A and B are shown apart, each in its own frame.
Chain A
């Protein structure tokens, strides 16, 4: 029974990680940018869902469409910063832009919402009993959303004309440019897409997650492990790896110590790089 509970809790946590990592793998694999602020955009999505519900009692699910537009605008602006400032300085510049954005967003969230943790307990659409515990439907919906999103992105990237442009840019921007792909636009699109995914992921997980301004940093570490394990740029791999990391985390915390929730992703990253150093890309 206890094992079953931990397994189910791990799968649910894994679904959340998958959601976060799907956008991260996109910006890392296709946008070729290690956007450290990715987790912070998840946090922005969470607080957006929280605030809309608290202020106007509007379900976070109803904010998904307007939020898509909102994060598209934010994403394009951030992509401009990365392209115009970060990329020109090189990889160090991109890292600095990401770190600056992460700190800025953390600071702003703390300013507007304080660092008191918040919970969105009012959004309740029922639950299902498994192994003696109740799984909230909000968690299941988030899991389904992760699968649909990853599948949709996979189809988009591998079958559409835009997707081919993104893949070509990821593989070799110079050659892609010679073949007529507008490389700067493709790279901006990848960054924008990843931020949209991050924001929407935040909204989906807000109803059952404790909100803190720095939660994005926590997500980022686990997302790194998921992306490495699933293959950089591989959205489907991110989903499977997310579930694996979630279950590993849960079992380690349940049977060993809560400290393993922090250590497990790091061990996975190091272990995978040691065993299969050349297979981190999809």
Chain B
């Protein structure tokens, strides 16, 4: 009898905790205001919602995504709001999908009920797929940030927009691969490839294979590995086993860092280049000189335009930190929504979506990139900005495109 008592007490405590968790998830939305907004100013405000992975495994991305969105809203509001709507201010409401795809439709329903006029966010393709089914039926436009699967736009929804897709990501990598082949005079370049066996990795690989259909790059070793593999030594061994000209990891940023460490410390590769999705600041701070020669796709806009300076300042005010990772995407999504609202002169979902298809984001309406940005008829950003940098003796230098080039490529093998 006495032995059962602690067990029953424990069971009771577990039930109480489970009930508490259920009740908190039921009210998971929170709101933040950007600029002077309150309930009494409802007619002078437009509710834009961020439905994204605010907690869970992807929260590292959404901290900066949310900061970028908040910065864009504060800049638009400070400049007088949406003028075609009588100076209506943008109010951002947040909904947390908890990095859990099954929460996508739940939180999308909550956002629709909350009166959102446009939505941005999403870091997991499956979540975005489920959530946009709900918002599409409600006629509310959605700008997807990091759910980059091509499947999102291939459904043909005219109110779903993607800043990046696996195809456009692969196009960016293909451009850099071609630069490597040209600069090192590789007439028949070979690739040692590794792919994270996830929807994202498979889509990335499929897009690359499609672009490489002509066989310009010969894949001499191809190894896939399950998500969460931390010991990549056997993967690295297979990648370098055929002595390829180029090493290419289609995985997650930490995979690129782990492989760099292995290529430089354990395996002595003769490859001319190593491409991965590792992020330069993290890789260089963790790996030091081991990151030398590694190529990084840069997501930060280059230059010192007035819009970029205003964004950096607003982001710092909103978050207390410098912009990083997906801050620029969060900003661009809300800037696009603001521009579409301005053009539509209406808060009707279909009108905003139609305006989004025709609006151009440029230096006059908040674009922080050197090039103008527009969405194609399929809802995908036309020519997404692609910049490549290389760590050369601890300095991060632009190597692509030619307009930004600060240095020629150096061989990864040294």
Contacts and interface: CB of A to CB of B under 8 A. Distances in A.
Given A258-B223, A258-B224, A119 B230 contact: no
A253 B234 contact: yes
A218 B23 CA distance: 32
Interface string A255-275: 001110110000000000000
A74 interface: no
Interface residues of B, number: 34
B229 A117 contact: no
B233 A210 contact: no
Nearest to B194: A258
A57 to B, nearest CB: 13
B60 interface: yes
A134 B229 contact: no
B286 to A, nearest CB: 5
Contact of A258 (B225, B258, B265, B268): B225
Interface residues of A, number: 39
Interface string A110-121: 000011111101
Contact of A210 (B4, B230, B267): B230
Given A119-B286, A254-B234, A254-B238, A127 B226 contact: no
A9 B233 CA distance: 7
Given A127-B265, A210-B258, A117 B230 contact: yes
A66 interface: no
Interface string A237-257: 000000000000010011001
Contacts of B266: 9, 133-136
A132 B268 CA distance: 7
A252 B234 CA distance: 9
Contact of B224 (A96, A118, A257): A257
A279 interface: no
B214 interface: no
A121 B285 CA distance: 10
Given A133-B268, A258-B225, A119 B261 contact: yes
A121 B3 contact: no
A257 B229 CA distance: 12
A191 B365 CA distance: 65
Nearest to B230: A210
A95 to B, nearest CB: 12
B265 A134 contact: yes
A118 B286 contact: yes
Given A115-B57, A116-B254, A133-B266, A5 B237 contact: yes
Contact of B237 (A2, A89, A118): A2
A134 B236 CA distance: 13
A210 B231 contact: yes
Contacts of A59: none
A64 interface: no
A48 to B, nearest CB: 18
Nearest 10 A-B pairs (CB), nearest first? Answer: A253-B234, A258-B225, A117-B254, A210-B230, A254-B234, A9-B233, A210-B258, A89-B7, A133-B266, A121-B287
Given A133-B267, A258-B235, A261-B234, 18 more contacts: A6-B234, A9-B234, A13-B231, A88-B3, A92-B7, A115-B60, A116-B60, A118-B286, A121-B261, A121-B287, A121-B288, A134-B266, A134-B268, A210-B254, A215-B230, A218-B230, A253-B234, A258-B224
Interface of B: 3-4, 6-7, 10, 57, 60, 223-226, 228-231, 233-235, 237-238, 241, 254, 257-258, 261, 265-268, 282, 286-288, 290
Interface of A: 2, 5-6, 9, 13, 85, 88-90, 92-93, 96, 114-119, 121-122, 127, 132-136, 209-210, 212, 215, 218, 250, 253-254, 257-259, 261-262
